[in-house]
Structure 1
């Protein structure tokens, strides 16, 4: 015996390549000729063999699936049935090939169809465009999986079904996403290309305005993008739901292709629960048999901006969806390729021309064969007595007839198979009439086969006939719309004064108004007040921990101060349990001063501290062993000065312009603290603030405080990074700084 020796790597490479080619050619990609994948082609062919035409009665789907997997497609019955259901869903297929009876799913849940033992099916009238020419020698045939019968390699499509119903699939290393199109538009473009072979894609797009999904939702992709996608074979299609306004109600009457109404309502409801849609009061699904899609969104009043609301919902829900366009298919050369629109129609016309040629040649061959038989029968009628004598007297009448009248074996067999009742004189007249008709048909067939013009005219007539019979109006209209835009969350809530309170254990709450005294509030056992800030409900609250990381929450979403709040640890991931030490709530464009106890700092904008991540955002680089100080709101005016005070009672005042403006980082040295005192922790930067000539501030040391006005700062003015001057006796152990306006 001969054995082939392969390395494991070579064997695996060959096996995977064989498998990938199988997936590409026999499973995932459609053939350009009939636009079908093998499983779809086998289902349609098996149903035609069962006589399930559009005029027949429906039969159990299980009967069809049994024939398909038993004769042609040796795979799972559930996957095969799902492919069959997909071809019957008028919300999935633009021109369904199967007419289903029973539960074949719904647009809201396409896979909610009943089992195949319950449903019944038959072919639709449109399926005739794939099957009507099958018996006329138009396709190649090959053995089925067990070699017991033949099946068609492709179906003789009379229209470019690959564009009409589209296809989607994932192969090995490639995929396809061909959207459906309108039959009338595709037929007109095909006819135009037949007459004008030099037409470019842009010219064809005058006929094909874009995909036509089985939904009345709008395609909002600009025309220029559509043309570019058809030129390259790659692109994307955006679809948007159709809605109207009825009083305070927004009524959605059409959804994007394969969008689920229940999922969309869940998406909107989750935003309502998160207080992101305060202008919406109610949601209803009023869909029924008469109104396949009717989703109702009720607004709280008629004074809201309905258009802005819908643009927000388009951006955040499946009311607007984007679909890939990837015109990848198996060509006539049996190779996968991404083709542009012109390439598809041009190649399909070659396929159609060859199909028509084979059909005409098949008919011509049959006409020739019949004329040959009629010639023999006519000889028999002209020599009827001699033929009867030969049949009665000769031992081998077939050979004798062939010898006596120079007939072929086929002609002799036809004479011998003729019944006695057909030997009447009238039959001779019928033969001559049939000969005349067949001769005329033969001349017409031969002339058409030899003439490119006549062939093209015939193809055009057939496409026009099918267009008029099966064509319909567009469902997906094309429109120019404003781009979807997410609401600025801070604009959705009323602007109210708020006080945000942070406890030492990391619990947060918010109270309305600025008259709240957080020191007198109740706290959980073992917990106490840490920090608070005054802000407004439409701003964000920023929590800063010792390590200089910021964490952000919408102020209006914070729990009420009537309770004890909620732990921030449930909303954020604090590394090494580094809980926040300060909270700030300023407008996004407010200028702030950032500093660390190591004496470094910078100034920037409040919005630079915002973060959407649960792990926070590093906004201040803090040297090891030190901590971040609370951000201070500042006024960046010409005479603004920074005040730095250490815990040891040293104070330095220098111009704000000497500090850098950053979005994040360590900053520059603000006040000089001796290295030994800083390293040992004996002295550190306690607090900072920024003052202007019209402001004053307080320095607290225990129960005592001292007020500094602008005129009192002359001895403390200096350059950034200087040591500064010591405060008066009794203020060598500073607690905090407080700014106040004179």
Structure 2
């Protein structure tokens, strides 16, 4: 590594050491003097310098507006040697009522809008002055409350921190990016913050939960709702980190959706653009039109027109909250420069506690400064009184002596300060002074001195004073909360199936494995046109926004969205183009429905279980293992079932054995072989001598038809007592003539 010789320095540093030191110095500068706010006044250096420069220009809330360029010139010329655009942008931010909860600058002209905060006019056009609220930061500035530091060229002094009368760091919040750290402090309501501060003043050991009885959460400069759960807000205040979620407020007017307030720093134009993009992409078929009806009386009024009055507007808004900036997350990172001069992420109680320490020290300095002035004034009045009582002699000494100050000091035992004050007083004023006036002022100052000494000597009295001043600030500048904190359900975007129409469809599968979907449920699958040598095999009725579930001969399940299937006007397409089943496997069952419906699955070996239809769902072209088949067994047709205490399952074998048992005895599984439904010897299943024909669900009031050829046997629950038993039993034989059962039918 080469060495670096620093011009004018004797020390030679290795380049890596110099680079590390230089970067560290730069990092500390950015952290402490650029990006992070101080806990005392809640301002970053550029903001503090702007406010101070405006106060020095006399731009109080009662003054006339002055060109912003004049202020920016003073700021960058005297205190902040950086770009004028950066200083002006910081100034604009403090003037925007939609950016700052309690603006510090009163602007005249174009200072941007919520739709486009950076659309403000150039500084040569706008005019500005401080707001009345800025007095919270500035009113005690000349009372010995702050430390001063030289400006960048050492020609002027500037305040290190402003003497804030309220916890401004929480009131307006701030964002900043330093080196290796950042800050994101949200705005808060002044009344809530001061109430919590007073609680901490009275009870220094108050917990975050105690403080949150007053501070409900952040209070943004917008009427949008905060939907973050209370426990998350308290956790954020405990750790100093977290996030806040805001949601736009809306209502319906004549069937239209009207958005009346947006989350903090969200543009209405951007919202309309986001919704329009979804409409163009056909992801919002339920929305017919958009309008922006915002004006001076209604700064935010976005109108969303549903396609019909049957549209679920709650569902539409939930989707928009999830997919647009109508709902927005804000990162919280309460990183500030503490009273020790070090940056740190602080919980709420620590932050308010440190601010109270800062405030107590500020008030002590103010009181001490006033006490010093009172003592000095009393001291001067003592000298003036002596001069008044000996006026002729004083005048004689001044007229005749070469060094009257020394003579006065020796003759009347005056201090140098008193002697200078007497000599600086005009004779005309001295002659007019009256002893009663001097003594009256002395008495008033003596009373004030006693009061000041009492305040400085008593922690209790000092706390009472701080509390009184905090209440005065809350009364003067406090307002109601703007951002209500409410409990709302989690927003959820529409799925692809939600966006599709729920039109009835019939999915048809041919014997050769060609699949298609026909509109409606009144389709005759046998009457459709099939390829030569092909014929109808299976069909299922469902809706266009559902998937068709398939089970093959090996027990694997597959699913395909119904709306993607080819029309039944043609002959369809081979299912192997969409799926990749095992060699030799064929689709044996189709089923469509809602994901939460219960399905009875089983094999003709006498095993089965209950699953949710969603358990059959898969995006894998090769499917998923669903049903384990014993040797020689085949898949039974899946059936929807309703699980109640009164539901029974009826299983019948091809040899006429029937078993009836409560559905609760069969387990609910996601996959597997299932449990034994009816007992059939495995050897007879493999040889196909005996197998389970079907298993169906049955509730009292229904009728069961057992078919054997063209004959059928109708049975009600009262006729089945002989066949009721425990799950997995052999069952009892049906009457003669039904020893070869073909199928079961429940009506």
TM-score range, shorter chain: 0.7 to 0.9
Please list, as runs of the form range in 1=range in 2, the aligned pairs for 1:151-550 lying within 5 A after superposition.
Answer: 151-424=158-431, 426-492=433-499, 493-497=501-505, 537-539=544-546
- CA distance in 2 between counterparts of 1:557 and 1:113 reads 51
Deviations 1:184-239 (A, max 9, x none): 11111111111112221111111111111111111111212211211121221111
Query: Residues 261 and 295 of structure 1 are in contact (CA less than 8 Å); yes or no, is this contact kept in structure 2?
Result: yes
Q: CA deviation at 1:582?
A: 8.5
- CA distance in 2 between counterparts of 1:148 and 1:536 reads 81
- CA distance in 2 between counterparts of 1:364 and 1:94 reads 36
Worse-matched range after superposition: 463-472 or 373-382: 373-382
Q: Provide the secondary structure at the position in 1 that maps to 2:12.
A: coil
State the aligned residue count.
602
Worse-matched range after superposition: 257-266 or 149-158: 257-266
Aligned: 1:96 with 2:106:
no
Q: CA deviation at 1:487?
A: 2.3
Q: CA deviation at 1:537?
A: 3.0
- Give 1:110's aligned residue: 117
- Give 2:645's aligned residue: none
Query: Residues 242 and 254 of structure 1 are in contact (CA less than 8 Å); yes or no, is this contact kept in structure 2?
Result: yes
Flag the 1:408–1:318 CA change in 2: closer, same or farther, 3 A.
same
Deviations 1:398-418 (A, max 9, x none): 221112112122111111111
TM-score by length of 2: 0.72
Q: CA deviation at 1:639?
A: 12
- TM-align CA RMSD: 4.3
Deviations 1:663-709 (A, max 9, x none): xxxxxxxxxxxxxxxxxxxxxxxxxxxx9989xxxxxxxxxxxxxxx
Q: CA deviation at 1:132?
A: 0.4
- CA distance in 2 between counterparts of 1:393 and 1:639 reads 139
Aligned: 1:14 with 2:33:
no
Deviations 1:424-464 (A, max 9, x none): 35433322222121111111111111111111111111111
**Correspondent of 1:136 among 128, 135, 143:** 143
- Give 2:609's aligned residue: none
Query: Residues 248 and 300 of structure 1 are in contact (CA less than 8 Å); yes or no, is this contact kept in structure 2?
Result: no
Q: CA deviation at 1:555?
A: 6.2
Q: CA deviation at 1:269?
A: 2.0
Deviations 1:41-89 (A, max 9, x none): 0010011111111001111111111111111111111111111111111
Flag the 1:25–1:586 CA change in 2: closer, same or farther, 3 A.
farther
Query: Residues 383 and 418 of structure 2 are in contact (CA less than 8 Å); yes or no, is this contact kept in structure 1?
Result: yes
Flag the 1:465–1:361 CA change in 2: closer, same or farther, 3 A.
same
- CA distance in 1 between counterparts of 2:591 and 2:133 reads 65
- CA distance in 2 between counterparts of 1:104 and 1:184 reads 27
- Give 2:699's aligned residue: none
- CA distance in 1 between counterparts of 2:565 and 2:387 reads 105
Q: Provide the secondary structure at the position in 1 that maps to 2:175.
A: strand
Query: Residues 38 and 44 of structure 2 are in contact (CA less than 8 Å); yes or no, is this contact kept in structure 1?
Result: yes
Deviations 1:127-165 (A, max 9, x none): 000000000110000011111111000000000000111
Query: Residues 250 and 261 of structure 2 are in contact (CA less than 8 Å); yes or no, is this contact kept in structure 1?
Result: yes
Query: Residues 609 and 617 of structure 1 are in contact (CA less than 8 Å); yes or no, is this contact kept in structure 2?
Result: no
Structure 1, unaligned stretches of length 5 or more?
502-508, 521-532, 543-550, 564-578, 592-603, 622-632, 641-659, 663-690, 695-742
Structure 2, unaligned stretches of length 5 or more?
1-7, 510-515, 532-538, 550-557, 571-576, 582-586, 600-611, 626-634, 640-650, 654-669, 673-690, 695-747
Query: Residues 401 and 412 of structure 1 are in contact (CA less than 8 Å); yes or no, is this contact kept in structure 2?
Result: yes
Deviations 1:548-600 (A, max 9, x none): xxx9997658999999xxxxxxxxxxxxxxx9798999858799xxxxxxxxx
TM-score by length of 1: 0.72
Q: Provide the secondary structure at the position in 2 that maps to 1:43.
A: helix
